[in-house]
Chains A and B, each alone.
Chain A
Amino acid sequence: MNRKQNVTIKGTKDGLTLHLDDVCSYEELKKELNQKLTESSRSSEDRLISVMVHTGNRYLSEAQEEEIKELIRQKKNLVVESVRSNVITKNEAEKLKQDNEILSIARIIRSGQVLEVPGDLLLIGDVNPGGTVKAGGNIFIMGALKGIAHAGINGNKEAVISASVMKPTQLRISDSLTRAPDDNVEEGKREMECAYIDEDNQITIDRLQVLMHIRPNLSKLQGGF
């Protein structure tokens, strides 16, 4: 019987691509991978070859993934560039969803209260002085921002903060920080504003409409209309 190959190696101009079968047992796979790599390793070349691993519909635990990587690395001049799989765990999916969703909340964040969300925040209400909102992504406030807003808490410098009335005590984006000017004289009618980190790594406040040019990724709608 002509046994189906569990490991297929393909050469591309970027390096090697290993397709690992997702039906056979893990032990079998490891054995065959080791065998194949030993056969085909030509140690004459000094050049490093990058390897991409595709695991198909097989889920590799972190330990297994590390084991496979180690196995490949042991062969001379092979470097693992990435490991790709078609499947992720529920937890990973959940986290991915949370990090990418816009959470809408209708309430007033009062002095002493802290609201934190993993993804984007859409607040229908105000942030009063002494109150804080934090988000892993962007912050959109439909009311007045008079307290502290911290966008991109996990280090996302692309994050933005926008509010209908922008009178914050402090604005933080990623690890940058800015505070309100001490002389709060300029009053009067103001339109919706946004804050972002500019090219000089400074937090800048501008009209909301500039966002579509500097942060085109904010549009989630695919295609035209």
Chain B
Amino acid sequence: MGEAIVITSGKGGVGKTTTSANIGTALALQGKRVCLVDTDIGLRNLDVVMGLENRIIYDLVDVIEERCKVPQALVKDKRFDDLLYLLPAAQTSDKNAVNSEQMKKLIDELKQDYDYIIIDCPAGIEQGYRNAVAGATKAIVVTTPEVSAVRDADRIIGLLEKEEHIESPKLIINRIRPHLMKNGDMLDVEEITNHLSIDLIGIVADDDQVIKASNHGEPIAMNPNNVASIAYRNIARRILGESVPLQQLEEENPGVFTKIKKFFGVK
């Protein structure tokens, strides 16, 4: 029996889809059977990030409306031998095409076959959100170090705490820019974690490669040397129950010249 984890944030554009794709990929790299479920009906894009868009035949609404069986709609990622699947969202309907009970039934069915079901939640707190959390047993809240994103994360955590079938949510702080954080121009990790008072499961640095990889339909987690990739892999290991220390996001050691300047207090 698998675990269903919903990836949510409240605010749009903080990286829910990227996070879903990469956590799914990282879990598959660890040898787990993973099914990604895109619940953003009408605005799907997890398939694009995964590079699976051109293989979609049926989608989530087809499954719910029983136009096909669940396995028929699942898109297999050939880069992973029978480990990673995607259930894409429909592009032609909207969020009201599905209700929470139908979603719960579907996720329960998927739990029989997969170790992890990663549910990518749409932005907002309306029907789409309710559908995404209906079948989940765990939740990960994604936020960025911005006041607006943290505010929405707080709201979402409040809503998630009311859902009795979901364990206390975990936090990912995404798109961290170490130099801004160091200068105090960005909320720092400790501040955000204290404010939201939930467990931190990972921090991810803002990295150009993430965008590049997404555009190529290749989740960054497949690249073993990238800083963000390591962050996602660490998160996957923490989901599996390992205890992995937080990444150090400080930039490389400053050169001798910088050290001397710092010594004399020159900026």
Contact = CB atoms under 8 A, between A and B. Distances in A.
Nearest to A128: B154
Nearest to B10: A111
Nearest to A146: B195
Contacts of A129: 151, 154
21 contacts: A108-B197, A110-B154, A110-B155, A110-B157, A110-B158, A111-B151, A111-B152, A111-B154, A111-B158, A112-B158, A112-B159, A113-B158, A126-B197, A128-B154, A128-B195, A128-B196, A129-B151, A130-B151, A130-B155, A131-B154, A131-B158
Nearest to B125: A112
Contacts of B154: 110-111, 128-131
A128 B161 CA distance: 15
Interface class of chain A by DSSP: loop
A112 B124 CA distance: 13
The 7 closest A-B pairs by CB, nearest first: A110-B158, A111-B155, A111-B154, A112-B155, A110-B154, A128-B154, A113-B158
Interface in B157-180: 157-159, 161
Nearest to A143: B197
Given A111-B158, A130-B151, 13 more contacts: A110-B154, A110-B155, A110-B157, A110-B158, A110-B161, A112-B158, A112-B159, A113-B158, A126-B197, A128-B196, A129-B151, A130-B154, A131-B158
Interface of B: 151-152, 154-155, 157-159, 161, 195-197
Contacts of B151: 111, 129-130
A128 B195 CA distance: 8
Contacts, number: 26
A174 B195 CA distance: 28
Interface residues of A, number: 10
Determine which residue in B154, B155, B159, B161 has the highest number of CB atoms from chain A within 10 A of its CB, and name it: B154
B198 to A, nearest CB: 9
Interface string A100-121: 0000000010111100000000
A40 B125 CA distance: 72
Contacts of A112: 155, 158-159
Contacts of B161: 110
A5 B105 CA distance: 76
Contacts of A113: 158
B220 to A, nearest CB: 30
A77 to B, nearest CB: 62
Interface in A145-182: none
Contacts of A110: 154-155, 157-158, 161
B10 to A, nearest CB: 9
Contacts of B197: 108, 126
Contacts of B152: 111
Contacts of A111: 151-152, 154-155, 158
Nearest to A112: B155
A169 B49 CA distance: 39
A131 B158 CA distance: 10
Nearest to B147: A129
B225 to A, nearest CB: 38
A112 B151 CA distance: 10
B147 to A, nearest CB: 8
Nearest to A125: B197
A113 B158 CA distance: 7
Interface in A26-57: none
Nearest to B198: A108
A71 B41 CA distance: 72
Nearest to B160: A110
A102 to B, nearest CB: 24
A216 B161 CA distance: 39
B187 to A, nearest CB: 12
A88 B80 CA distance: 74
